[in-house]
Structure 1
Amino acid sequence: MITIFFRTIFLFIFVVIAIRIMGKAELSELQPFELVVIIMIAELASIPMEDVNIPFINGIVSIFTLVFIQIIISIINLKSEKARAIICGKPSVLIEKGKIVEKELRNLRINMNDLIEQLRLKNFHNINDVEFAILETNGDLSVIPKSDKKPLTASDIGLSLENENLPMSIIIDGKINYNNLKKISLDFNWLYKELKKQNINDVTDILYASIDKNMNLNIHKKNENET
């Protein structure tokens, strides 16, 4: 029992490290070969956890081999467009210039209900509003609306707007991020004065605080919305 316990902990840590080595893409949308690698890693990790008679190193070597294969394939994909087309496939155009490509739907075994559902998920409730719909190699559907259905942008009406900057997190769950303060050339004394302005004496009372592009400190207190 103790052996299984420690095997499970070690394999869990090893698999997490292996997934991280494979890259952040694996944590979001997977290419087909990446999905296969993930499934096989999960299966290989479970075998030495369940059966203590199987040498522990067997599972480690197998998982490491799969990670190595995935890295090699990813490098090949980066270097060769032909290899990328073979390994990952090519995007499929399901709607082209406002017309449904029925042949492509049949080839991919996608029915109209599936297509309409995916369009709704992309906030296109009328198929007549779509100029192009492309099924990407990772399974996601990219939709390009017709020109007269595109939302207006600032440039369309001649407005010039400043680029948006991401807010900088300064306090998370009562703890100050001094590195972020340093990045924007601020220090604890500045933060202390700003907190005093908002009648906050204890940093631990703050759930989240950030600084926007105008150098305003925005604070969300703990239990602020609880009754």
Structure 2
Amino acid sequence: MQDILLISIRTIILYFLIWFIFRLMGKREIGELSILDLVIFMMIAEIAVLAIEEVEDHLLHTIWPILLLTILQMTLAYLSLKFQSVRRFLDGKPSLIIINGKIDEGAMRKQRYNFDDLMLQLRENNIDSIQDVSYAILEPSGKLSVVEKENKRKHAALELPLIADGVVQHDHLKQINKNEQWLRDELAKRGYHQLDEVSFCSFNQKTFYIDLKDEVRKKS
């Protein structure tokens, strides 16, 4: 009876502790969790289970590693927000799997992504035929984002980020056969002369979308 009471108390304490920790980590859908998030969550869950079973072990021996994992996750999450290189190292970057109705097998091999996975996720996006796809992008979370062809005859324009977190995306510029000087000239025409003032800039073959750093905060 005493063991049952002790297990119940430890379970309740750990429940509220983990609930509080997950609230601190921010709200994200399960499908959007990064590899780092999944590793942290799995380790916390395993530690919590062991703590409930090992009633003779002091509860602080469980709470400390959970808090340490939380600090680690929040620190890396903060660094990934500040530095694109850290974010790409931890989460990876999106990969173009289908381009104008053609499959990039090399990108699939690089991501260890097979045709069964591709067809499954296309069906989940209500796509009946690969020919109807203008672009399919495999996100770092493993989710497949699909852009259908307009009217299933002409290609939809893919919006490519050219600047993210103030950093020029040279690989995206290369995809549209442009360079950094072209980007600087186009932004200058629109009144943006300093790239380090631009937080995000994208281009969809027709128009630019430009967002300055802390633009919303400055207006409010």
Same fold by TM-score, threshold 0.5 exceeded?
yes
- Give the corresponding residue for 2:75: 72
Identity fraction in percent:
39
- Give the corresponding residue for 1:116: 119
User: For the structure 1 residues 28 and 140, does the alpha-carbon distance in structure 2 shift closer, same or farther, using more than 3 Å as the test?
Assistant: closer
1:62 CA drift (Å): 0.8
Greater Rg over alpha carbons, structure: 1
1:130 to 112, 128, 133: 133
Superposed structure 1 runs of 4+ greater than 6 Å apart: none
Q: CA RMSD in A?
A: 1.5
Q: Is residue 31–residue 143 contact of structure 2 (8 Å, CA) maintained in 1?
A: no
TM-score scaled by length of structure 1: 0.63
1:109 CA drift (Å): 2.2
Cα distance in 2 for residues equivalent to 1:26 and 1:10: 25
User: For the structure 1 residues 107 and 43, does the alpha-carbon distance in structure 2 shift closer, same or farther, using more than 3 Å as the test?
Assistant: same
Q: List alignment gaps of at least 5 residues for structure 2.
A: 154-220
Is 1:29 aligned to residue 29 of structure 2? Answer: no
**C-alpha distance after superposition, 1:187-222 (max 9, x if no partner):** xxxxxxxxxxxxxxxxxxxxxxxxxxxxxxxxxxxx
Question: What is the letter of the counterpart of residue 79 of structure 2?
Answer: I
User: For the structure 1 residues 26 and 145, does the alpha-carbon distance in structure 2 shift closer, same or farther, using more than 3 Å as the test?
Assistant: closer
2:96 to 68, 93, 97: 93
Q: Is residue 19–residue 26 contact of structure 1 (8 Å, CA) maintained in 2?
A: no
Matches within 5 A, 1:60-209: 60-149=63-152
Cα distance in 2 for residues equivalent to 1:90 and 1:132: 16
Q: Is residue 31–residue 141 contact of structure 2 (8 Å, CA) maintained in 1?
A: no
Cα distance in 2 for residues equivalent to 1:128 and 1:136: 21
**1:20 counterpart SS class:** helix
Cα distance in 1 for residues equivalent to 2:132 and 2:145: 14
In the alignment of these two chains, the number of paired residues is: 150
Q: Is residue 99–residue 136 contact of structure 2 (8 Å, CA) maintained in 1?
A: yes
